[in-house]
Structure 1
């Protein structure tokens, strides 16, 4: 065969191999990183950690340490930040006003 045809065949096969490797890489990226992130972000109460690829439920530090947040406003803000409903107001107390 002509040497130019051999060279063109090898170049074509090289580009084909690069295309196949790139397509497989994009597929792995979608299945391993993008799809789990999107699924986690649809669940409004969870946080996505891209470094460890973990969908985690946030936890209040007071739940771990056992220390109680004594300020009602701070407690309501902390629970709002992690997506928990605020505790119902005790008798005689007004419920905290919701921000629009």
Structure 2
């Protein structure tokens, strides 16, 4: 066989192997952790590959949300259960 064909065949096989390895690394290092993070209702930062817990602004500032429906909706949006209503004697 022509030696050029053999070299091209080896080049394409090597290139294919490198691309497959790159796709596997991409899946394991970026895609799988991102899906796992988003499934747990957290924020995924792809640049730094960090899974962060979202925080309500009211937790930072100390101001409470006066509308109970809005508070329950905000807590549900970040995956935090709403606090039970206080029991009045």
What TM-score results when the alignment is normalised by the length of structure 2? Answer: 0.78
Which is greater in Rg? Answer: 1
- Equivalent in 59, 78, 81 of residue 74 of structure 2: 78
Partner of 1:7: 4
Higher RCO (Cα < 8 Å, 6 or more apart): 2
* Coordinate RMSD, CA, aligned: 2.0
Moved over 4 A (4+): none
Gaps of 5+ in 2: none
SS at match of 1:70: coil
Whole-angstrom CA distance in 2 between matches of 1:74 and 1:39: 27
- Equivalent in 39, 42, 60 of residue 42 of structure 1: 39
How many pairs were matched up? Answer: 88
Partner of 2:57: 61
What TM-score results when the alignment is normalised by the length of structure 1? Answer: 0.71
Gaps of 5+ in 1: 93-100
SS at match of 1:55: strand
Whole-angstrom CA distance in 2 between matches of 1:38 and 1:77: 23
